[in-house]
Amino acid sequence: MKTTLGTGLTVMCALALGLGCGKKQAPSGQDAEPIPFASVKEVRLPAPPEQAASYLGIPAGATDVALTKIGAEILLIQVFDMYCMNCQREAPDVNALYERVQGSDLAKRVRFLGIGKGNTQTEVRIYHERYKVPFPLFADPNKKAVNQMGIDRTPTFVIVDLKRQRVLHEQWRLESAESMFERLRKAGG
């Protein structure tokens, strides 16, 4: 009886470990090798509406936006896709992270922006309105920006230190607003 039970438990253990811990992909929410700053430097996005331009510290009348010209010390880039289930699921948490930053001493130093991988302006607008995203989102219908950055999976989050011209962190999926807030706090010194 004990042997049978013991064998059964061993099999169950193996199943539990196999189902829960056997991921081949890079784990979500954990450190990945950050993309090089040079790839971020190349990215240019279309000029956003006036209110968003003001938030990002972009001069009025600019025809496009170089990420490195954004008027902030720290930039959090969210690469999302309107069709991505994980992006949809995490959208409220990303909004909560934004609000957390806005209510902290990081508010003036950190800026958020989203890039819709393969999404048209219409698709970005649908996502924006559905989740009431409080920061600027940009369409990237031909995936030019995300390809320049070498980012394939969504949602991906990238923390860029614009002042020191370094990419500090990159991760797939948010998982926790609080842990990303701590990363931003750390990035802000």
Partner 1 sequence: MKKEALFCTIIVGLLGTSVARGATEPKLIFDPGTLAARDSHLAVKVGDRAPDFSLPSIGGRRVSLAEYRGKRNVVLSFVPAAWTPVCSGQWPGYNIAQPVFEQRQAVVLGITTDNVPTLHAWTTNMGGMWFEVLSDFWPHGAAAKKYGILRSDGTTERALFLIDKQGVIRYIDVHDINERPPLDKLLAELDKLK
- Residues 159, 112: Cα–Cα separation, whole Å: 9
Binding pattern for the stretch 77-106 against partner 1, x by CB under 8 A and - elsewhere: ----xxxxxx-xx-----------------
Q: Where are the beta strands (DSSP E) in 90-147?
A: 110-117, 137-140
Binding pattern for the stretch 105-144 against partner 1, x by CB under 8 A and - elsewhere: ---------------x-xx--xx-xxx-------------
Q: How far is the CB of 22 from partner 1 (least distance, A)?
A: 9
Residue 143 makes CB contacts below 8 A (sequence gap 6+) with 117, 118
Q: How far is the CB of 157 from partner 1 (least distance, A)?
A: 17
Q: How far is the CB of 180 from partner 1 (least distance, A)?
A: 19
Q: Environment class of residue 108 by beta-carbon count within 10 Å: exposed (0-12), middle (13-18) or buried (19+)?
A: exposed
Q: How far is the CB of 2 from partner 1 (least distance, A)?
A: 8
* Secondary structure (3-state) at 158: strand
CB-CB contact of 28 with 38 (8 Å): no
- Residues 117, 46: Cα–Cα separation, whole Å: 14
Q: How far is the CB of 174 from partner 1 (least distance, A)?
A: 13
| Encoded amino acid at 30, one letter | Q
Phi, psi (rounded to 5 degrees) for 160: -115, 130
Using CB under 8 A, which residues numbered 44 to 83 contact partner 1? 81-83
Using CB under 8 A, which residues numbered 6 to 35 contact partner 1? 9, 12-13, 15-16, 19-20, 23, 25
- Judged by the rule CB under 8 A, the positions of this chain that interact with partner 1 are 5, 9, 12-13, 15-16, 19-20, 23, 25, 81-86, 88-89, 120, 122-123, 126-127, 129-131
